[in-house]
Amino acid sequence: MLARVVTFAIDGIDSRPVVVEVDIRPGLPAFLIVGLADAAVREARERVRGAINNSGFDFPARRITANLAPAHLPKIGPGFDAALAVGVLVASGQCAADGLERTAVFGDLSLTGALRPCRGLLAVAEGARRAGMDRLIVAREGAAEAAVVDGVEIAAVEDLKAMVDVLGGAPAPPPAPQMGGLRPAADVLDLSDVRGHELPLRALEIAAAGGHNLLFEGPPGSGKTMLATRLPGLLPPLSRAEALEVTRIHSVAGVEHRGGLVTERPFRAPHHTISAPGLVGGGRVPTPGEASLAHNGVLFLDELSEFPRASLEALRQPIEDGRVTVVRGQRALSFPTRFTLVAATNPCPCGFAGSERQCGCSEAEIARYRRRLSSPLLDRLDLLVNVARPSAAELQASARESSAAVRDRVLAARERQLRRLDGTAARCNAQMDARLLRSRIEVAADARRALGRAYDAGGLSVRGHDRVLRVARTIADLAERDAVVLADVLQALALRLPDGGAEALAA
């Protein structure tokens, strides 16, 4: 008898339906798996055999052939164990076949028959809904993640036996609900914990409100990393679609997120020894990189000048397009990469130029250090902020407003932008192109003159001019103004990166 069981394969950060067909014939005992299965899938044979035997079923001593369709899609295990086992049981009459039309299964099996969760459960559940399945049976552990998806019923079972029972008509236990999250629940990063740093916090607010990328410059220990970690808390809450994206990407990449839906914006801080594929995605089995894990959140590059140029160059297109395309063989996979970039750098090799401590670097050393800041990325940074150690008075000052208060202002500013940019591809000020800057922005006359003077004096390139205008528009949005006035342009000028890239930064 031929059995057909629907399961799913992870493809990039999505899932695709795979139909497992199992056929049992008389003949010398054999268990063949075909359909571009990789080595991990072929190992499934042993697991399936052990699981079936240990669950109280009989493993048929006949010729078993399993085909994973469609044949042109490479099947990268694991995750097919459950479907294979159910297929074998159905084909040998040990499991009911009706209901398999509308029910899919997914998961790994251990030799004892226990069902194990795999990466990408959310993607699988979404795939099940897309494929028109009514129900998806998965392992109890981690099922909360699959339950996030509407439109498909999730049954959470312990082992193969329970799975067969459910297929036979037993009631399907729902998964236990769980709060997803990336950080330990008690570890909340709030602005009210920060002392001093008036200027960097103002810059963070502007960055959050307009979607601008930011560069912190300051000596070691001045608080650059601490400030960067507060940014996700200032961004508007994730929409449901965004939360699903974040959860799906983390799930596929195997990053710990406590099951359930992730509701906070991700903060990724890769070390500068990371490779280019680690940063943007790739590898033999294409997995999302840090840039995708930071999607809808913040990517923090500390010690920007220490990152290999190749890695930073690889980031350029993803920042520009919001996606990265990884090609493997004839297949092209696309991962989303829309994040806010925060970079940090020291002013010089010893780190202390311009601070209270004496800097020991020579002019040549400083110039060389600054040249290593990659100009492709400097082009994408809208704000430059000097971070200094807070003074004693600042450290002892009373607490400031909380992240929530700032977030409200940021949200209001974002809403103004969405209204203004309605009908365009841009969703925030940082995404406005030159055409939108001319057409959708109202600038007061004295503000225009000041910007023109700065441009003429040679301190601004054309790109720099537009960047200052975008930031000024965000500052005006935060002040709830319709037009951009002189004060907004002046502030934006004071926060700009020196133009000309790394050479200009070498003062």
Partner 1 sequence: MTCAAVDRSVPPCAACLRRTWLVARLAGHIEIAWMRRRPLPALLALADDALVAALGGDERPRIEEEYARFDPQVAIAACAAHDVLALCRCDPRYPLRLHELPDPPAVLHVFGQRAGFERCAAQESVAIVGARRGSPYGLEQARGLGRGLAAAGLTVVSGMALGIDAAAHAGALEVDGATIAVLAGGPERPYPASKRRLHERIAATGAVLSELPPGTGARRWCFPARNRLIAALTRATVVVEAGERSGSLITASLATDLGRDVAAVPGLVTAPLAAGTNALIADGATLVRGAHDVLELLFGAAGVVARTPAPDAGLEPDLAALLNRVRGGQDTVAALVGEGCAVDATLAGLAQLELRGLLRRLAGGRYLPAAPE
Please state the closest distance from residue 405 (CB atom) to partner 1, in A.
16
Please state the closest distance from residue 372 (CB atom) to partner 1, in A.
14
Please state the closest distance from residue 199 (CB atom) to partner 1, in A.
5
Q: Which long-range contacts (CB under 8 A, 24 or more apart) does 500-507 make?
A: 500/461, 501/373, 501/375, 501/378, 501/379, 502/370, 502/371, 502/372, 502/373, 502/374, 502/375, 502/378, 503/370, 503/371, 505/370, 505/373, 505/378, 506/366, 506/367, 506/370, 506/371
Return the number of the residue (96 or 361) whose C-beta is nearest partner 1: 361
Cα of 2 vs its chain's centroid, Å: 41
Distance between CA atoms of residues 95 and 160, nearest Å:
11
Distance between CA atoms of residues 33 and 10, nearest Å:
18
**Side chain identity at 276, as an amino acid letter?**
A
Is residue 41 within 8 Å of 73, Cβ to Cβ?
Answer: no
Distance between CA atoms of residues 298 and 291, nearest Å:
9
Please state the closest distance from residue 119 (CB atom) to partner 1, in A.
43
Distance between CA atoms of residues 126 and 316, nearest Å:
31
Please state the closest distance from residue 425 (CB atom) to partner 1, in A.
31
Return the number of the residue (219 or 266) whose C-beta is nearest partner 1: 219
Distance between CA atoms of residues 169 and 171, nearest Å:
6
Backbone phi and psi for residue 371, each to the nearest 5 degrees, phi listed first: -65, -25
The dihedral over CA atoms of 274, 386, 225, 373, expressed in degrees to the nearest 10, equals: 0
**3-state secondary structure (DSSP) of residue 276:** helix
**Going by C-beta distance under 8 Å and a sequence separation of 6 or more, which residues neighbour residue 489?**
443, 447, 450, 451, 468, 469, 472
Return the number of the residue (331 or 453) whose C-beta is nearest partner 1: 453
Instruction: List interacting residues with partner 1 (CB under 8 A).
Output: 196-199, 202, 217-218, 347, 353-354, 358, 362-364, 367, 370, 384-388, 390, 393-394, 450, 453-454, 457, 475, 486-487, 489-491, 493-495, 498, 505-507
Please state the closest distance from residue 155 (CB atom) to partner 1, in A.
56
Return the number of the residue (376 or 500) whose C-beta is nearest partner 1: 500
Please state the closest distance from residue 348 (CB atom) to partner 1, in A.
9
Return the number of the residue (358 or 398) whose C-beta is nearest partner 1: 358
Is residue 75 within 8 Å of 41, Cβ to Cβ?
Answer: yes
Please state the closest distance from residue 457 (CB atom) to partner 1, in A.
7
Return the number of the residue (103 or 429) whose C-beta is nearest partner 1: 429
Return the number of the residue (412 or 426) whose C-beta is nearest partner 1: 412
Return the number of the residue (110 or 491) whose C-beta is nearest partner 1: 491
Please state the closest distance from residue 367 (CB atom) to partner 1, in A.
8
Distance between CA atoms of residues 210 and 428, nearest Å:
6
Distance between CA atoms of residues 74 and 11, nearest Å:
9
Return the number of the residue (9 or 451) whose C-beta is nearest partner 1: 451
Is residue 83 within 8 Å of 137, Cβ to Cβ?
Answer: no
Return the number of the residue (179 or 507) whose C-beta is nearest partner 1: 507
Which is it for the CA torsion 312, 313, 318, 321, positive or negative?
A: positive
Please state the closest distance from residue 303 (CB atom) to partner 1, in A.
15
